[in-house]
Amino acid sequence: MELWQRIEEGDIRAAARLMRYADDGDPQAVEQMKRIYPLTGKARVIGVTGNPGAGKSTVVDKLISEYRKGERKVGVVAIDPTSPFSGGAILGDRIRMNRHYNDDKVFIRSLATRGHLGGLSKSTGEISLIMEAWGCDPVFVETVGVGQAEVDVVKLAQTSVVVMVPGMGDEIQAIKAGIMEIADIFVVNKADREGADRTIRDINAMLEMVHWQEGGWRPRVVKTVAFRDEGIDELVKVIEEHGHWLQQSGYQEVKNRRRVEAQFSDLLQDRVRERIEALLAGTEFQSWAEDLVQREKDPYTLLERVSKALLKDQP
Amino acid sequence: MELWQRIEEGDIRAAARLMRYADDGDPQAVEQMKRIYPLTGKARVIGVTGNPGAGKSTVVDKLISEYRKGERKVGVVAIDPTSPFSGGAILGDRIRMNRHYNDDKVFIRSLATRGHLGGLSKSTGEISLIMEAWGCDPVFVETVGVGQAEVDVVKLAQTSVVVMVPGMGDEIQAIKAGIMEIADIFVVNKADREGADRTIRDINAMLEMVHWQEGGWRPRVVKTVAFRDEGIDELVKVIEEHGHWLQQSGYQEVKNRRRVEAQFSDLLQDRVRERIEALLAGTEFQSWAEDLVQREKDPYTLLERVSKALLKDQP
C-alpha cells in the first residue's frame, strides 16, 4: 500500500514518515503530497498565538482534551522560533503536552525555526495537510507571537485565537492595529491574576473603536485559567460559534482561498529559494562576489544580469 | 548635483532621501545606489543583538558617545520586530538615543519589520551602505534577538556583540550552539545585578568546551553597567581588538565576502518576491486558486507549471 493510502487509513507512522520526507525535500514527498491533497480542506485549522509566557501551550493542551471528548482526532503544529538567546520553549511544551502522547488520536509536531522563516511556513502548511489527511479535525497551529513572520503562519488558520495575560493594558494601546488584523478570539488567560478585568475592559474599549460590519464577526473575549481548566469549555463554545459564523457568512470561502494562496506561495518561494542558493553557490557567482568586494562591480548591475539568467520575462 | 554626490559630501538630507527612495522601490534609487556603492566597503559594521530588556539600546547609545569622541560619524540601524503583541520598543529606543539627534554626525534610523523579513534585510543592507557613503564609520546594526531571521541580519556585520543580562545561566546551556555561531563579543550588561559573575563563569565554561584554532578569535566577555557608562571604554577596546584581529588574520576578507553575498542575496530575493506577488495577484492564478480550494487541482502540479513560467531552466 502506498504511503498516502496508509495515511488515509489512519496509520500514524506513515503520516510521520511523509512529514519527514517533505521536510527533507525527498522526491517521494511530492507524489504522495499530490495524492493526499484531495483528502484535505475540510478540517478546521485554529491558530493560537501570543507572547511567551501567556500560557498558549496550556490553553492548547486543554483544548486538545476538550476536543478529544468527541472522539475526533486532533493535530497540533507547535512552532517555536528557536532563538539563540531565549533557547526556545520546545522542550517545555513537549513535556506539558506529553500526556497526550499516549493518545493515538492526538498528533503533535514541534517545528523549530532553525532555518528561514519561509521554510517554516512551507513545513507548517504541509504538516497541517498531512494531519488533515490522517483525519485530524481540528488542527491547532501554535506560534509564539514575536514577529510578523510568525503571524504570517496564521494565514493558514480559519480561526485565530490570541492568548494574553492580565496587565498588558498599556501594550494593548500600542498594538491595536496589528492585533486587530489577526484576532478572532481574545483569550485573557491567568485570569485569576490581578488586573484581568482591566485587561478585558481594555480589549473591549479597543474593539469599541472599530466599526464592525452588520453580520460581521466582532472578536470575542474569553477569560480562562487554563491550568485549572477554567473557561476552556467557554472557549470551545466560542471557537465553534466562529466556525458557524464562517459557514453562514460565506466567509469560510475567503479563508479557504487565503489558505491555498498562502500555501502555494510558500511552496513557490521555497522552490525559488533553492534555485537562488544553488546560483549563489556556483562558481560564476563566486567570482562576481570577489568583484563586489573589490567594488569593481556593483550589486545592482549584477542583479539585472542574474535576474535575466534566473527569471523568465514577464508574460 | 546628483543625490549620490550630495551624500558623498555629507548632506544628511540627501542620505535620508535616498533611504526613502530605496524603501519605496523608487526607480531613481537603483541608479543612485550604483553610484554610491564604490564609496562603501571600508567602514566597520558592528552588530549588536540580544534579548528584549538586555539593554542593547543603552549599550549602543554609550558606544555612539564613545566613538563620537574621535570626531568620526556614527550610524545606527535599529531593527525592531514590531510584534502585534509586544508592540515594539521603537519609541523607547528613539527617545533613549534622542540626545544624539542633535548631533549632526550621528545618523540613527529605525526599521520596523512590518512586512517580510526579507524586505527587512534588503533595507538594512541598503541603509548601511548609504550611511557608509555618507561617511559613517562605524555603523551599528541593532537587532532584537528573537529569531533566526533577525540573526541573519548580523551577516552584514564584521563584529557581532551579544548583550546579555545576569541570571541567564540555564538558558546559556540550552543555547550554546546558536550563540556560538554569531558572537564575537559577549557583553554582560547590568553587571551590578546579582548573578553577574555566575553568568560570566557560565559563558566562559561554554567557551572552554570549544577548541579554538591557533590564531583564531576566542570570543571575549565584557562586563558593563551601560546606563552608568561603566565598562563601555573596555567594550570599545575589545571591539577595536577584534577589528585588528580581522585585519591581521585575513578574516576580514571572509567577512567582506559574506557581507556582499548576503546583500546580493537579499536584493535578489526581494526582486523575486515582487515577481511572485505579481504572479499570484494575476487573473490566471486567481482561477487556479479556486481549483485548489475545490481540490480539483493540487498545488504541487501547479507548482511545476508556475515554476516553468517563472524560472528559466537550470543553465
pLDDT in tens, A111-145: 765 544 455 678 889 999 999 999 999 999 988 65
- Is the pTM for the entire model greater than 0.80? no
Asked whether the beta carbons of A219 and A159 are under 8 A apart, the reply is no
Decide if pLDDT at B54 tops 60.
Answer: yes
Decide if pLDDT at A300 tops 50.
Answer: yes
* Per-residue pLDDT, B181: 64
* Per-residue pLDDT, B176: 46
The gap from C-alpha B48 to its chain's centroid, in whole angstroms, comes to 8
What is the average pLDDT across B240-250?
96
The distance of B274 to chain A (nearest Cα, Å) reads 11
Q: Whose grid coordinates read 544624539?
A: B100
Angle at B10 between CA B4 and CA B11, to 5 degrees: 75
What is the average pLDDT across A283-304?
92
ipTM of predicted assembly, 2 dp? 0.84
| Long-range contacts, stretch A27-32, CB < 8 angstroms, 24+ apart | A28/A3, A30/B300, A32/A2, A32/A3, A32/A4, A32/A7
Closest residue in chain A to residue B278, using alpha carbons only: A314
Per this entry, what is the length of chain B? 315
Q: Enumerate the β-bridge partners of residue A169.
A: none
* Per-residue pLDDT, B98: 62
Set of chain B residues whose Cβ sits within 8 Å of the Cβ of A177: 84
A280 contacts B261? CB cut-off 8 A: yes
Mean of the per-residue pLDDT values of chain B: 84
The distance of B229 to chain A (nearest Cα, Å) reads 24
B-interface mutation test, from A35, A85, A180, A273, most B Cβ less than 10 A away: A85
Distance CA A103, CA A21 (A): 24
The distance of B298 to chain A (nearest Cα, Å) reads 6
Nearest to B167 by CA among B143, B218, B203, B142: B203
* Per-residue pLDDT, B113: 57
Q: Does B95 touch chain A (CB under 8 A)?
A: no
* Per-residue pLDDT, A84: 43
Size of interface A-B (CB pairs under 8 A): 241
B301 contacts A114? CB cut-off 8 A: no
Distance CA A300, CA A312 (A): 18
Asked whether the beta carbons of A253 and B285 are under 8 A apart, the reply is no
Q: Does B192 touch chain A (CB under 8 A)?
A: no
Asked whether the beta carbons of A238 and A222 are under 8 A apart, the reply is yes
The fraction of chain B above a pLDDT of 70, given in percent, is 82
A81 contacts B263? CB cut-off 8 A: no
Report A:271-290 residues touching B (Cβ under 8 A). Answer: 271-273, 275-276, 278, 280, 289-290
Decide if pLDDT at B91 tops 50.
Answer: no
pLDDT top residue among A211 and A221: A221
pLDDT in tens, B99-145: 787 788 999 988 765 544 455 678 889 999 999 999 999 999 988 66
Asked whether the beta carbons of B198 and B165 are under 8 A apart, the reply is no
Element (H, E) at A78: strand A73-80
- 3-state secondary structure (DSSP) of residue B143: strand
Residue A148 banded pLDDT, cuts 50, 70, 90 = low
The distance of B93 to chain A (nearest Cα, Å) reads 15
Strands A45-50 and A106-112: unpaired
* Per-residue pLDDT, B298: 95
* Per-residue pLDDT, A245: 96
C-alpha cell at B58: 543603552
Report A:139-178 residues touching B (Cβ under 8 A). Answer: 145-152, 162, 164, 171, 174-175, 177-178
Cα torsion angle, A23, A28, A34, A40, sign: negative
Residue A25 banded pLDDT, cuts 50, 70, 90 = confident
Cα torsion angle, B123, B125, B131, B133, sign: negative
Distance CA B144, CA B224 (A): 19
Q: Whose grid coordinates read 503520516?
A: A15
Decide if pLDDT at B35 tops 60.
Answer: yes
Q: Whose grid coordinates read 548601511?
A: B128
* Per-residue pLDDT, A120: 67
Asked whether the beta carbons of B78 and B107 are under 8 A apart, the reply is no
Q: Does B25 touch chain A (CB under 8 A)?
A: no
Q: Does A20 touch chain B (CB under 8 A)?
A: no
Q: Whose grid coordinates read 485587561?
A: A199
C-alpha cell at A233: 469549555
The DSSP code sequence of B289-313 is: HHHHHTTSS-HHHHHHHHHHHHBPP
How many CA atoms does the CB half-sphere of A175 hold within 13 Å?
27
The gap from C-alpha A277 to its chain's centroid, in whole angstroms, comes to 25
Q: Lowest mean pLDDT: which of A205-214, A279-288, B166-175, B291-300?
A: B166-175
**CB under 8 Å to B278, separation ≥6 — which residues?**
A314
